[in-house]
Chains A and B, each alone.
Chain A
Amino acid sequence: MTEQPISIMVVDDHPIWRDGVARDLAERGFEVRATAGDAASAVRIARTVRPDVVLMDLNLGEESGVEATRKITGELTDTRVLVLSASGEHNDVLEAVKAGASGYLVKSASAEELVAAVRRTWAGDAVFNAGLAGLVLGEYRRMASGPEESGAPKLTDRETEVLRLVAKGLTARQIADRLVLSHRTVENHVQSTLRKLQLHNRVELARYAIEHGLDGEPD
């Protein structure tokens, strides 16, 4: 970090955890601008403080972190969301990623791993672990088995290859070695798998809204 520290917002309904993470990050030179304990106030506060990175728990009581992620990434183009969840509720993680989150880290990750993940998120990279890669692979295959004309995105052979290796626990560095690619290229492939999924998700939501008259047009 040079002049300006990366600004953070921590969203978690558990105060012990929320304050612990905020303290850890502040000690390591991040600017923790805000914390929130539920989805609605997370969206409201994010609009005001415009953090670089939101650390988002998914289990937030009434409204889920998935919706908050969708609203925050939809409205604030410069803000990225990193899901930080102990849940292991896998489909929630996939939904959050489809809604716009840049990646997923388990809560049991060490402080060093957390710091690295926040930096990567801020830099625009996708933060993947093996579990998320397995889910994304499966999601693409599920879409591919649907009707041909649905316009669902497809993975290139190379992207599939890279995702499979991520799902088998290889690091980007190891994947680059094995496939004889640059580290950067591997990162780009991973990122692109996420971006296509998110784009498709937004298109689908918009189509659904128009078909069901939810697009905000006055009657």
Chain B
Amino acid sequence: MTDAVRVFLVDDHALFRAGVRAELESISGGEVEIIGEAGSVAEAVAGIAKLAPAVVLLDVHMPDGGGAEVLRRVHTEQPDVVFLALSVSDAAEDVIAVIRAGARGYVTKTISSSDLVGAIKRVADGDAVFSPRLAGFVLDAFADRPGAAPISDPELDLLTPRERDVLRLLARGYAYKEIASELFISVKTVETHVSSVLRKTQLSNRYELSRWATDRRLV
């Protein structure tokens, strides 16, 4: 891709938006272009409709419903717009909620700028982006525990051993390239596995997945 990725920034903290904008513009070398930003759900929905960005960097925690609400309102109208959740929240229920609402990835706000550029390009290319933390959440959610609910659709409700391997390495902080060489597969295959895990996370009907996220901290 030679064109700059057109990015729209949604966060209710103006200071944070300014920081991300400055960092992305200085470090990405023209690969990423911020075409607009919004500080509220309503602004975001209007701005995305008007500017049709390729990628929306979306804060999870906002007044009036947060990132999930933006996703719900934009998603059906503009299926081509890709969302990358960016949050300080560690709370599993928030992270899983935006993923289930349709985000293509989740990274924490402490991510380095170059990694963020990488993540933006990756979701713009249609791949999924899993931070180590999200990988951990998903592994945990799909874990086979005693007393787990019956699996209604193995296609969606179970991770393959290979997908588990990939997720484990992601959680250990490995980059895609490192995962590929560790498992003797191509980077493309790693991407396919991660996308498949994302799809399962979004569509699985497993009772665990919704319940898990809410009572994770009560264990």
Q: Do A and B bind each other?
A: no
Chain B residues packing against A (C-beta within 8 Å): none
